[in-house]
């Protein structure tokens, strides 16, 4: 079946603009995760959902970042008033629920803030 | 603090030779350990995991990893490397009472023909 998809794959925006990044998880996966990956680094946890409930948002850097998953499927990560330091690869992953299940990652959205 | 360390930025190995990519962790409680591989312009792909049971775990593409509790290590291994194994490899740990993964900084594996 289809894997995790993300859109757009690339986004260039000007400083101060808002951006919305979309993630479509694997069908039937209960859990959805957002990570940010800087160049040369491993992915860094941002937030995650079980169904539509946001379980942990401790990794969101500040209140300009928010995420939602209103119907328990597609999720949107929104960054308001973007800054150059927000430039990174944003990765989404999904999994079945439970600690032993691996997460499956999408191709990522490369965000560049100019 | 919980952390994962990959001490080598790059590992070079000749095709046909065995390879090892090192990973050590520091967590409280029982760790769930994972290896992922990232090919250029692709997402991270799951390779294998240790949850419980046998310390030697077998995964995709002929890779295996050995969990060593006393040394807090989870090294990735393959008996005979292929040029196509060249990629960026990430070790990750998930704690028993959380759902988030903590990743290492990655190790670039270069396999030479």
Q: Give A79-83's long-range contacts (Cβ < 8 A, gap of 24+).
A: A79/A18, A79/A19, A79/A21, A79/A111, A80/A18, A81/A16, A81/A17, A81/A18, A82/A13, A82/A14, A82/A15, A82/A16, A82/A17, A82/A18, A82/A19, A82/A111, A82/A113, A83/A15, A83/A113
Parallel, antiparallel or unpaired: strands B10-14 and B107-112: parallel
Q: Which of B34, B43, B94 faces A108 most closely, judged by CB atoms?
A: B43
- Per-residue pLDDT at A40: 82
User: Mean pLDDT across the stretch A75-83?
Assistant: 98
The continuous run of DSSP H or E covering A18 comes out as none
Chain A residues with CB under 8 Å of B105 CB are: 40-42
Q: Is there a contact between A22 and A42 (Cβ–Cβ < 8 Å)? A: no
**For residue B46, which residues of chain A lie inside 8 Å, CB to CB?**
102-104
Confidence of residue B66 (pLDDT cuts 50, 70, 90): very high
Partner residue opposite B99 with nearest CB, options A40, A48, A105: A48
The pLDDT value recorded for residue B94 is: 87
CB atoms B101 and A40 under 8 Å: no
Which of B25, B52, B100, B106 to mutate to probe the A interface, most A CBs <10 Å? B100
- Minimum Cα–Cα distance from A33: chain B residue: B100
As a whole number, mean pLDDT of residues A81-87 equals 97
Please tell me the distance in Å from A95's CA to the nearest CA on chain B: 10
Amino acid A43: pLDDT: 94
């Amino acid at each position: 079946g289809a894997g995790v998809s993300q859109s757009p794959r690339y986004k260039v925006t000007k400083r101060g603009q808002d951006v919305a990044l979309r993630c479509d998880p694997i069908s039937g996966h209960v859990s959805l995760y957002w990570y940010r990956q800087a160049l040369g680094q491993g992915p860094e946890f941002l937030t995650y959902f079980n169904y539509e409930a946001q379980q942990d948002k401790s990794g969101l850097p500040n209140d300009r970042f928010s995420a939602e998953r209103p119907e328990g499927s597609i999720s949107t990560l929104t960054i308001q008033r973007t800054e150059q330091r927000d430039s990174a690869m944003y990765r989404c992953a999904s999994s079945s629920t439970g600690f032993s299940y691996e997460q499956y990652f999408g191709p990522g959205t490369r965000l560049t803030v100019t | 603090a919980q952390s994962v360390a990959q001490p080598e930025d790059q590992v070079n190995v000749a095709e046909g030779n065995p390879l090892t990519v090192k990973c050590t962790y520091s967590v409280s409680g029982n760790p769930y350990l994972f290896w992922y591989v990232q090919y250029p312009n692709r997402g991270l792909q799951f390779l294998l995991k240790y949850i419980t049971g046998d310390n030697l775990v077998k995964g995709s593409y002929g890779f295996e990893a050995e969990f060593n509790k006393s040394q807090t290590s989870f090294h990735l291994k393959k008996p005979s490397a292929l040029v196509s194994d060249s990629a960026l490899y990430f070790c990750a740990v998930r704690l028993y009472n959380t759902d988030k993964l903590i990743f290492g900084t990655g190790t670039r594996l270069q396999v030479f023909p």
